[in-house]
Chain A
Amino acid sequence: MPAKTRTRKSDLKSLTIRVCVGTGGLAAGSQDVIDEFTKQLKAKKIRATIAKKCVNKTGCRGFCAKDVLVDVIRNRKTETYQLISPEMVSTIVENHIVNGEPVEKWLVGPEYHEFHNRQTKILLDQCGQIDPEDIDAYTAIDGYKGAKKALSMDPLEVIEEVRNSGLRGRGGAGFSCGMKWDFCRRTPATPRYIICNADEGDPGAFMDRSIIEGNPHSVIEGMIIGGYAIGAELGYVYIRAEYPLAVERLRIALDQAREKNCLGKNIFRTKYNFDIKIKLGAGAFVCGESTALMRSIEGKRGMPRPTPPRSVTKGLYDKPTALNNVETLANVPLILLKGADWFTSFGTKKNTGTKVFALTGKCKNTGLIEVPLGMSLKEIIYDIGGGVEKKRELKAVQTGGPSGGCIPAEHINMPVDFDSLTKIGSMMGSGGMVVMDDTTCMVDMAKFFLTFTEDESCGKCVPCRVGTKRMLEMLTRITEGRGRSGDIERLLELSDTIRLGSLCGLGRSAPYPVMSTIRFFRHEYEAHIHDGICPAGACKALRQYLVNEETCKMCGKCFRVCPSDAIVWEKKQFAKINKTKCIKCGSCYDACPFNAIL
């Protein structure tokens, strides 16, 4: 608690203001807040560094939920404000910056600190402290030192170090990064390529975007090290066109790196030449698959091919290629700088290091979190996420996006790592974690993911192209109350066909959401099919709206909002719903102030 004595302007020695400018922050209007700070400070003739803080650090702890977040660091003392709008800026400037009295009512609450204290941030810590558009900010926190160190070593030593760290690919399958590089290096053909996979297509995942937006240089540095290790002179970043801000930041970072001789000819005054090109994705989920991604870079239809040969021997332009995920590469400079032993001190024996997750859905604190591998699901959801919102009951957690599965609430004590998740029929995927409560229907959830995979199937393998379509039809029928007995068995049979008969990861994992929901929530499927009810009350077609005459106050609000004239009402009369006209839109339910519509 700061002293309430009025201090004089002259005791202001240093001042830094950090404003969150990730996609979440910008959506909440952080640019206006920055402009207002600049204007006000200029008027008061105060000089301050206004750094752009990336979305991650404080984080988009979904603290995007509390955006705009502003750090005011006055005389080296940091205070963080939440939910700041431009109108509030003048008060902060006057009270806090000029007079040294923070505006208590706008400061972040205890939940903000709890959220952070339970995390282990080795990647996200850097994001958010530094200006992503300034290479000097990165070098000031030991940036590019890992690459310099690597370039003074033998490439094989670099590979050995990464292998000893136990770093596994963060893109989903969890293959050892060191081994991948080793295989690639051993293939004699040249030139070799290194590709950074930033085609983060999983719905519900945004860690790669945040890392690139927050600390693009760490990814570039990781690519330099990887490129040197495998003997590549050219690298590509394959990034989604849907992430304009990340692309922009990456472009700026690449230009700055070239200027400072971190990229180009004879980098860091060694004999090694290396450069990076950006390739924009064109919107196809399957292009996150390694062989499809490489076809796409070559400018062709992004369709997967059978493996082997794997891309480490025959990849881009049929040359040896190492493909690594954004988060994997961002870990590499730290491993080189601090050593493999430091890295293995996080996580468990076979799952070393930390993992960034996008915690979303119906949980109180949504956002980007970083925890050591092996932390239990319970700790993540309750201690960091603050539990389920509106005090509802946790039903399941979905991990791994459309390729993953659901983990029901009774398995909440399981550790979150690559192997445990696979064992339960889900997968790590890229790290999306969607929390679902008792109002989420699991059949609807499976349908949602199938809609996605059906749409994104590239069409090459028949089981995937036709199978997902048939599966979606069945699921749609079930959610509309037209399910038939035997549908569950048919779905399971089809799941096996698709899983075993498809070439790439998309097809092979497409049935997982269906299989895991049937495994754990078979009763919900049965309720839809046999009883025509949706236990969660989420499937529109199975809902019936009724007026409870005990609580109805005859106000007529429902009558006025009904778009299909299905409600009959007159003054001093109970409202009635005409079932044949009702389109089940739920407008009356939302409009009723007395919860009289059931």
Chain B
Amino acid sequence: MEKDCQKILHRYNAEGGSVVSLLQDIQETFGYIREDVVDWFSEELNVPASNFFGVATFYAQFYLKPRGENIITACCGTACHVKGSAPIIEKLRMDLKIPEGEVTSKNGKYTLESVACVGACSIAPVFIANKKVFGKLTAEMADAMIKGLDKK
């Protein structure tokens, strides 16, 4: 951990970073915003940890909990909503056994999250599975999409 943190700190100093860019680097390296990592930077930079968490909880992009191996992002934009994304999200939530109020399944295999709009409205409803974009998704295609993830 120490080594990775040093690397991030070096970049921060060299490029004149900010709390946001620092958190982005932390998440890139560790997968989520780890408390011990934040404490380390807090010591090192003499910035209260509350500052970091204040910023981290403000933005949707930062995660305070570890995420699943496979990340499925559902677009919740207007066009996707109108074209019926909600039932597919509900179905995936049931199929992947993601508990109510959580985004990650208990076995840590899947994370199902939603974003405001990925800006691909003309192929709504849109889902992104491990960075691959699936457009005009139907319930059957969703099954195939999940099978594709399991194969790997």
Contacts and interface: CB of A to CB of B under 8 A. Distances in A.
A448 to B, nearest CB: 5
Contact of B118 (A23, A60, A434, A440): A23
A24 B117 contact: no
Contacts of A23: 118-120, 133
Interface stretch (B3-11, B102-110, B121-129): B121-129
B117 A202 contact: yes
Nearest to B121: A360
Interface in A187-228: 200-206, 209-210
A452 B121 CA distance: 17
Contacts of B119: 23, 200, 205-206, 209-210, 242-243
A566 B14 CA distance: 64
B85 to A, nearest CB: 11
Nearest to A208: B119
Contacts of B82: 360-362, 434, 436, 440
A189 B35 CA distance: 41
Interface stretch (A173-181, A281-289, A567-575): A281-289
Contact of A361 (B60, B62, B79, B131): B79
A302 B58 contact: yes
A366 B87 CA distance: 22
Contacts of B78: 203-204, 360-361, 398, 401, 432, 434, 448-449
B61 A241 contact: yes
B134 interface: yes
Contacts of A62: 122-123
B79 A282 contact: no
A64 B123 contact: yes
Contacts of A283: 59-61, 115
Interface string B1-27: 000000000000000011111111000
Interface string B57-70: 01111100000000
A381 to B, nearest CB: 15
Interface residues of B, number: 40
B135 interface: yes
A456 B58 CA distance: 10
Given A64-B135, A298-B18, A204 B122 contact: no
Interface in A64-93: 64-65, 67
Interface in A335-361: 358, 360-361
A217 B24 CA distance: 26
Contacts of B89: none
Interface in A537-567: none
Nearest to B91: A585
Given A26-B133, A282-B59, A448 B115 contact: no
Contacts of A242: 115-119
A422 B142 CA distance: 40
B141 to A, nearest CB: 12
B37 interface: no
A279 B24 CA distance: 11
A210 B132 CA distance: 18
Given A23-B118, A28-B135, A206-B121, A434 B79 contact: yes
Interface string A265-301: 0000000000000011111110000000000111111
Nearest to A298: B18
B79 A360 contact: yes
23 contacts: A27-B135, A28-B135, A60-B122, A62-B122, A64-B120, A202-B117, A204-B78, A205-B117, A242-B116, A242-B117, A242-B118, A280-B21, A282-B59, A284-B60, A299-B17, A299-B19, A301-B54, A360-B122, A361-B78, A368-B122, A434-B79, A449-B78, A586-B87
- Nearest 5 CB-CB pairings of A with B: A299-B18, A62-B122, A206-B119, A203-B77, A283-B60
Given A24-B135, A279-B21, A452-B116, 6 more contacts: A27-B132, A203-B80, A204-B121, A244-B131, A280-B21, A283-B59
Interface of A: 23-24, 26-28, 60-65, 67, 200-206, 209-210, 241-244, 279-285, 296-303, 358, 360-362, 366-368, 398, 401, 432, 434, 436, 440, 448-449, 452, 456, 458, 585-586
Interface of B: 17-24, 54-55, 58-62, 76-83, 87, 115-124, 126, 131-135
